[in-house]
C-alpha cells in the first residue's frame, strides 16, 4: 500500500469533492480531488518528457501556488522522490543561495528542479538535472499516466531540514512510515473524513507538508490553504476561513498563537465552534501563548480545550506525541538559568521562572526513552536526550550514511532534543546540539557564528550565538554576543552584523550584545561555550520584557 | 493638523514600544537593520499599531519596503493627509463627492449596484459614463469641470483604445483602473452577424452574436442539413488548435492587466471550467461583476475597514440580478470537451430571449436565419 493507492481510492470515491480551497491575493479557488489527480498526471508526463532520472530527487521551489500539490504528487506517480525547499527571502544573496544549493544538489544528485524563470537565471549549471520552469507548464492538456510501480518500503519523499551549507539533511520517508503515521496519529486528534484543515503553513516545513498536505491526501480531508506571506500581514484571515469552511483542525507554531491574539481589534467575532484541535507544534510550546489565544477568542465559541500540544519531527514522519484532546494542558515551572544547563530545578526568582509544557504521551505506535551521554536509559524525571522508535520512523538521511549512523542507532532515533518523561508524558527542555528554533524554523548556531565572525570590526572567533525565549513575541529569538576589535565603531558593526546574518543564514537577529574583550566564557578545551554564555546571559539579564 | 516633528515622535513611540527601544534612540535615519528583532511578523504588528495610532489603513507590503523610520513617518503623514483631503472634499459637495464609473455595460452594472449600496450611495454622487456610443447618452452626461475637480473617485475600466477623456480634470480623484471582462476563448469563432438589424420588439436585433463559419456558409448559399453538415466540418477544423487559442487569450489578459489596479484574470481563468460564468463573450454572470466590485472597493480603500471576506459577502448579497443571462451564446462541443468545461453536457440548452435551444437547434436557426 502506498500514498498514491490511498489517494487514488479517495479520488475514485469523491472525484468532484473539494481537496483544497486554495487562497491567494484574497481569492479562493477550489480544487477537486480529480483535478489534483489529473494535473499531477500532467506533471508525471512532464518529468518523463524532461527525462528526469527515475528514483532521483525532484526539488520543488515555488511560492504559494497550487502547482506545489500537482508537481509533488506527479513526482510520486512518475517514480521520482519529491522534495519541497524554501524559496530565497528578498534579503538573501541569490548568488550565495545557489552556491550553497549547488553543494547540496551535487550531493543528492538532484534529478530535476521546478522553479520560476525569475530566479532560475542565477542558478548556473545544475549538471544533468532537468530544469523546469513554472511559466512553461500547461495544465490544460488532459493526460492519463500509468504510474510507476511502488512498494510500502520505497521512499515516498524527502523532507529537508534547515541549515545553510552542506548540512541540509534530507529525511527519507517511506510510504509505509507515512501511512503508519496517518493510521496512528489521526485518531488521537479526531482527524477523519468529516474534518477540514485550515492552514497558512508553507509546504517546505514538515508541519505544513505532513499535517496539512500528506495526511489530508491519504485520509481524504479537505484543506483551506492560505499564502504564508499574506498570512503574516493579515493573520486573522485564517479565522475568516475557519468560520467560512467550518474548519476542524489548525496547526500552528507557538509564535502564531501570540500573533493571532495580538492582532485582534474591535468588535469583530468569529464562529470558531467547529474547531476540534488547534495544535501547537514545531517550536517550544508555551502554555502562556496558548492561554492568551484561548482567552482572546473565548467569545468566539472556541472550545476552551481546543489548543493542544504536539511533539513532532520529520524523522518520525510527524507526530511522536500528542496531548489528550479534551483534557487541560499540563506544565512545570522551572528555573530558566538552570534549564539553560539542562538541569531541572525550581526557579530562584520570579525572573528565573520558565514553564515547560507537557507534549503528552506518545501516539499509540511510537515508544520513547531518555538516555544520558553514554546511552544508558534514564529514569522518570531526569533530563537526557529523547529517543524515539516505532513504525513511522524515517529510513535515514539521504546520501548521508555517517550522520544516519550517529542519529539512528539500534532502531532508535536520537532526536537531539533534551527533555524528560514524567507520568508517561514527554517534556522538552532544550537541544543537545546547536540547533536554534525561531518561529518554527531551524537554524544552526555555528552558521550564525561564522557570519558574525566574518563581520568587519568583530573579533573573529570571539562570538557566540544561542536562542532564548521571548515571552512577548511567543518564540525564541537569536541572541548574538560578540567582542569588538579595538577602534571598531559599535553602531556600524551592529548594523553590518545584523545584515550579514540575515543575508547568509536568513534569520533576523533578536538581540546583539557587545561584551568586553576576553569576557566570553570558554570551555576547558578553549572553545567558547554556548551553554555557559547562554546561562550567564539569562542570569544577568533576566527576562527581557 | 500635527506638524512633522510631532508626527515623527508618534511613529518613534510606537516603534520603540514594539521593539523595546527607548524612543529617544530612534532618529529619522534609523533603519530596520538598526533595530533588534525587526522581522516580518513584528513588522506586521508594528503596522497594526501604527494604524491604531493614526486611525488610517496601511498596506503591510508597502510599509515593509521603507528605508528608514523617517520615510515611514513621511508615508504615514501622507496617508493621514490624504484621508483628511477626502473628508474635506466630501464636505465641499454637500457631503457627497462625485464618484465616476467609466466603462462598458459591465461598469454600468457596477454603477447601478453601487448606487443602491448605502455606504456608497449615501456618501457619493455616483455617475456612470459609457466608453462607447450608447443610445440616449450625450455629452451632457459628462460632469462640469467644477464637478470633475471635486471628483473623489474615478473608477475607470481600461480597454486598449478608449481612455477617460481629460484625465487631468479629475486631479483630486483617487483613480482605480480595472479590466474589461470580455472573455473570448469560449467563442473564438465570434463575428458580426451581417443580417442582424434592429426590430421594433428587439432594439438590438434578434442576434448580433454571429459566427464567422456561419457567415462563410451563408455566403456560399448553404442552408438546412447541408448548411449544418458544412458547419460541423468547417468549425471542427477551425478549432484544431485550442491550447494555443487559450494561451493567446491568457496573454491578452496579461497584457491588458499589466498596468491596472484591479485584475480579474486569476479569478476568471480559475473558474470558467467549473461554472458557466459567461453568457456571451462580453456578458459575465453577475457573480463575476460582484467579485470585481469587491476588488475595486478594496483597492480604492472603500472597504470601510471590513476584511476582504466581508467585502465579498456584502457584494455577493448586493449583486443579485440575472445580468446577461437572457442571452446565452452556445458553446461549441469541441471547445467544451477539450477545455473540460465541468458544467457542460451534450444536451445543455441555451436561453435566447426566453426560449431555450440546444447547440444544434441554435446553429441551424442561425444558419437559416429563422431567428
Residue A33 pLDDT more than 90? yes
Q: Give the Cα separation of B51 and A233 in Å (integer).
A: 13
CB contact, 8 Å: A259 with chain B? yes
Spatial CB neighbours of A103, under 8 Å, sequence gap ≥ 6: A165, A166
Q: Give the Cα separation of B366 and B358 in Å (integer).
A: 12
Q: Give the Cα separation of A517 and A27 in Å (integer).
A: 55
Residue A98 pLDDT class (50, 70, 90 cuts) = confident
- Most B CBs within 10 Å: which of A498, A505, A544, as the mutation test of the B interface? A498
State residue A427 phi and psi, 5-degree precision: -120, 125
Return the higher-pLDDT residue of A124 and A378. Answer: A378
* DSSP alpha helix (H) spans, chain B: 4-19, 40-54, 60-64, 69-92, 105-115, 118-121, 145-149, 212-219, 224-238, 242-256, 265-271, 286-300, 308-318, 333-338, 359-368
CA–CA min distance A233, chain B (Å): 5
Residue with cell 528526469: A52
Identify whether the C-beta of residue A53 lies closer than 8 Å to the C-beta of residue A127. Answer: no
Q: Give the Cα separation of B306 and B317 in Å (integer).
A: 15
Residue A361 pLDDT more than 60? yes
Taking contacts as CB-CB distances below 8 angstroms, the residues of chain A near B40 are 229, 232
CA–CA min distance B309, chain A (Å): 7
Q: Give the Cα separation of B182 and A56 in Å (integer).
A: 45
Identify whether the C-beta of residue A481 lies closer than 8 Å to the C-beta of residue A464. Answer: yes
CB contact, 8 Å: A143 with chain B? no
CA–CA min distance B145, chain A (Å): 37
Q: Give the Cα separation of A60 and A132 in Å (integer).
A: 10
Identify whether the C-beta of residue A385 lies closer than 8 Å to the C-beta of residue A418. Answer: yes
SS3 A544: coil
pLDDT one-digit tens code per residue, A399-411: 999 999 999 999 9
Residue with cell 443580417: B195
pLDDT one-digit tens code per residue, A460-494: 889 999 998 887 788 889 999 999 999 999 989 99
SS3 A275: coil
> What angle do helix axes B69-92 and B4-19 make, rounded to 10 degrees?
120
pLDDT one-digit tens code per residue, A45-76: 999 999 999 999 999 999 999 999 999 999 99
Buried b (16+ CB within 10 A) or exposed e, B92-128: ebeebbbbbbbbbbbbbbbbebbbebeebeeebbbbb
Closest residue of chain B to A511, computed from CA coordinates: B36
Residue with cell 518554527: A440
Residue with cell 444544434: B360
Nearest by CB to B20, from A232, A235, A544: name it. Answer: A544
- All three cell numbers of A295, joined, read 482567552
Return the higher-pLDDT residue of A321 and A122. Answer: A321
- H/E stretch holding A257 reads helix A254-263
Identify whether the C-beta of residue B35 lies closer than 8 Å to the C-beta of residue B15. Answer: yes
The answer to whether the CB atoms of B247 and A477 lie below 8 A apart is no
CA–CA min distance B371, chain A (Å): 36
What is the C-alpha R_g of chain A?
23
Nearest by CB to B44, from A30, A233, A509: name it. Answer: A233
pLDDT one-digit tens code per residue, A313-354: 999 999 999 999 888 899 988 887 777 677 788 888 887 787
Identify whether the C-beta of residue B294 lies closer than 8 Å to the C-beta of residue B317. Answer: no
Q: Give the Cα separation of B154 and B177 in Å (integer).
A: 8
Q: Give the Cα separation of A535 and A495 in Å (integer).
A: 26
The answer to whether the CB atoms of A27 and B270 lie below 8 A apart is yes
pLDDT one-digit tens code per residue, A365-401: 999 999 998 999 998 888 999 999 999 999 999 999 9
Nearest by CB to A27, from B20, B40, B267: name it. Answer: B267
Q: What is the ipTM, given to two decimal places?
A: 0.78
pLDDT by residue, tens only, chain B of 371 residues: 446 678 999 999 999 998 888 999 999 999 888 888 888 888 988 998 998 899 888 887 777 778 899 999 999 998 888 777 666 655 555 658 889 999 988 899 999 999 888 888 888 889 888 887 766 555 446 777 777 887 899 999 987 777 888 788 888 889 999 988 999 999 999 988 889 888 888 888 888 899 999 999 999 999 999 999 999 999 998 998 888 889 989 988 988 888 889 999 999 999 999 999 999 998 999 999 999 999 999 999 888 888 888 889 889 888 887 777 889 999 999 999 999 999 999 999 999 988 999 999 999 999 999 87
pLDDT one-digit tens code per residue, B121-175: 888 889 888 887 766 555 446 777 777 887 899 999 987 777 888 788 888 889 9
Burial class for B250, CB neighbours closer than 10 Å (0-12, 13-18, 19+):
middle
Amino acid at each position: 500500500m502506498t500514498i498514491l493507492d490511498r489517494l487514488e481510492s479517495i479520488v475514485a470515491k469523491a472525484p468532484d469533492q473539494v481537496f483544497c480551497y486554495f487562497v491567494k491575493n484574497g481569492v479562493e479557488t477550489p480544487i477537486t480531488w480529480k483535478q489534483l489527480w489529473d494535473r499531477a498526471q500532467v506533471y508525471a508526463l512532464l518529468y518523463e518528457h524532461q527525462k528526469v532520472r527515475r528514483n532521483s530527487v525532484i526539488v520543488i521551489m515555488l511560492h504559494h501556488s497550487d502547482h506545489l500539490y500537482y508537481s509533488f504528487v506527479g513526482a510520486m506517480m512518475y517514480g521520482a522522490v519529491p522534495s519541497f525547499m524554501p524559496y530565497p527571502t528578498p534579503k538573501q544573496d541569490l548568488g550565495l543561495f545557489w552556491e550553497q544549493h549547488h553543494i547540496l544538489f551535487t550531493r543528492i544528485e538532484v534529478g530535476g528542479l521546478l522553479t520560476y524563470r525569475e530566479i532560475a537565471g542565477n542558478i548556473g549549471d545544475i549538471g544533468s538535472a532537468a530544469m523546469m520552469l513554472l511559466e512553461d507548464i500547461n495544465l490544460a492538456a488532459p493526460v492519463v499516466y500509468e504510474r510507476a510501480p511502488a512498494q510500502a518500503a520505497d521512499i515516498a519523499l524527502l523532507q529537508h531540514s534547515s541549515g545553510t551549507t552542506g548540512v541540509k539533511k534530507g529525511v527519507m520517508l517511506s510510504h509505509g512510515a507515512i501511512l503508519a503515521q496517518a493510521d496512528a496519529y489521526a485518531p488521537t486528534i479526531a482527524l477523519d473524513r468529516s474534518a477540514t484543515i485550515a492552514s497558512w503553513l508553507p509546504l517546505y516545513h514538515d508541519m505544513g507538508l505532513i499535517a496539512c498536505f500528506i495526511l489530508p491526501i491519504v485520509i481524504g480531508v479537505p484543506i483551506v490553504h492560505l499564502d504564508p506571506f499574506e498570512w503574516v500581514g493579515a493573520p486573522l484571515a485564517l479565522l475568516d476561513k475557519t468560520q467560512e469552511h467550518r474548519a476542524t483542525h489548525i496547526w500552528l507554531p507557538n509564535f502564531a498563537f501570540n500573533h493571532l491574539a495580538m492582532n485582534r481589534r474591535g468588535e469583530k467575532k468569529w464562529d470558531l465552534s467547529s474547531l476540534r484541535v488547534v495544535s501547537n507544534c514545531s517550536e517550544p510550546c508555551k502554555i502562556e501563548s496558548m492561554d492568551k489565544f484561548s482567552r482572546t477568542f473565548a467569545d468566539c465559541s472556541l472550545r476552551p480545550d481546543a489548543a493542544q500540544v504536539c511533539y513532532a519531527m520529520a524523522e518520525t514522519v510527524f507526530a511522536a506525541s500528542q496531548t489528550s484532546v479534551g483534557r487541560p494542558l499540563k506544565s512545570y515551572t522551572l528555573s530558566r538559568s538552570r534549564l539553560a544547563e539542562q538541569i531541572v530545578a525550581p526557579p530562584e526568582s520570579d525572573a528565573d521562572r520558565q514553564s515547560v509544557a507537557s507534549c503528552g504521551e506518545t501516539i499509540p505506535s511510537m515508544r520513547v526513552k531518555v538516555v544520558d551521554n553514554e546511552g544508558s536509559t534514564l529514569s522518570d524525571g531526569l533530563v537526557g536526550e529523547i529517543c524515539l522508535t516505532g513504525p513511522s520512523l524515517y529510513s535515514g538521511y539521504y546520501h548521508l550514511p555517517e550522520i544516519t549512523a550517529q542519529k539512528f542507532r539500534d532502531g532508535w532515533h536520537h532526536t537531539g532534543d533534551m527533555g524528560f518523561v514524567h507520568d508517561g508524558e514527554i517534556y522538552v527542555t532544550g537541544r543537545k546540539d546547536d540547533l536554534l528554533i525561531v518561529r518554527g524554523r531551524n537554524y544552526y548556531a555555528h552558521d550564525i557564528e561564522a557570519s558574525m565572525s566574518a563581520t568587519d570590526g568583530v573579533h573573529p572567533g570571539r562570538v557566540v550565538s544561542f536562542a532564548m525565549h521571548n515571552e512577548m513575541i511567543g518564540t525564541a529569538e537569536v541572541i548574538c554576543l560578540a567582542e569588538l576589535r579595538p577602534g571598531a565603531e559599535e553602531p556600524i558593526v551592529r548594523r553590518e552584523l545584523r545584515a550579514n546574518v540575515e543575508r547568509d543564514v536568513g534569520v533576523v537577529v533578536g538581540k546583539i550584545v557587545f561584551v568586553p574583550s576576553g569576557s566570553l566564557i570558554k570551555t576547558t578545551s578553549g572553545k567558547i561555550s554556548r551553554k555557559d554564555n547562554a546561562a550567564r546571559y539569562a542570569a544577568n539579564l533576566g527576562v527581557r520584557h | 493638523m500635527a506638524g512633522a516633528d510631532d508626527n515623527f515622535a508618534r511613529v518613534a513611540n510606537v516603534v520603540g514600544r514594539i521593539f523595546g527601544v527607548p524612543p529617544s534612540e530612534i532618529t529619522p535615519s534609523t533603519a530596520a537593520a538598526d533595530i533588534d528583532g525587526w522581522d516580518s511578523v513584528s513588522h506586521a504588528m508594528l503596522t497594526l499599531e501604527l494604524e491604531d495610532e493614526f486611525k488610517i489603513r496601511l498596506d503591510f507590503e508597502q510599509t515593509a519596503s521603507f528605508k528608514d523610520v523617517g520615510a515611514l513617518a513621511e508615508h504615514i503623514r501622507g496617508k493621514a493627509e490624504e484621508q483628511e483631503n477626502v473628508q474635506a472634499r466630501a464636505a465641499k459637495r454637500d457631503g457627497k463627492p462625485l464618484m465616476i464609473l467609466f466603462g462598458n455595460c459591465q461598469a454600468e452594472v457596477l454603477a447601478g449596484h453601487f448606487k443602491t449600496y448605502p455606504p456608497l450611495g449615501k456618501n457619493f454622487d455616483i455617475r456612470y459614463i459609457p466608453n462607447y456610443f450608447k443610445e440616449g447618452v450625450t455629452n451632457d452626461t459628462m460632469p462640469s469641470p467644477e464637478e470633475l475637480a471635486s471628483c473623489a473617485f474615478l473608477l475607470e475600466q481600461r480597454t486598449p483604445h478608449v481612455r477617460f477623456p481629460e484625465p487631468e480634470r479629475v486631479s483630486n480623484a483617487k483613480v482605480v483602473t480595472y479590466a474589461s471582462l470580455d472573455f473570448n476563448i469560449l467563442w473564438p469563432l465570434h463575428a458580426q452577424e451581417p443580417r442582424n438589424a434592429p426590430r421594433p420588439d428587439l432594439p438590438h436585433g434578434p442576434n448580433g452574436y454571429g459566427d464567422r463559419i456561419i457567415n462563410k456558409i451563408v455566403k456560399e448559399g448553404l442552408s438546412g442539413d447541408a448548411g449544418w453538415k458544412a458547419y460541423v466540418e468547417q468549425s471542427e477544423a477551425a478549432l484544431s488548435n485550442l491550447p494555443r487559442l487559450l494561451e493567446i487569450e491568457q496573454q491578452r489578459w496579461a497584457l491588458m492587466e499589466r498596468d491596472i489596479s484591479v485584475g480579474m484574470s486569476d479569478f476568471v481563468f480559475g473558474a470558467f471550467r467549473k461554472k458557466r460564468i459567461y453568457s456571451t463573450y462580453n456578458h459575465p454572470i453577475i457573480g463575476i461583476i460582484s467579485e470585481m466590485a469587491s476588488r475595486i472597493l478594496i483597492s480604492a480603500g472603500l472597504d470601510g475597514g471590513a476584511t476582504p471576506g466581508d467585502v465579498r459577502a456584502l457584494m455577493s448579497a448586493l449583486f443579485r440580478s440575472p445580468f446577461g443571462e437572457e442571452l446565452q451564446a452556445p458553446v461549441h462541443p469541441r471547445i467544451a470537451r477539450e477545455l473540460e468545461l465541468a458544467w457542460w453536457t451534450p444536451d445543455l440548452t441555451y436561453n435566447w430571449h426566453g426560449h431555450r435551444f440546444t447547440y444544434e437547434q441554435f446553429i441551424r436557426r442561425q444558419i437559416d436565419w429563422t431567428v
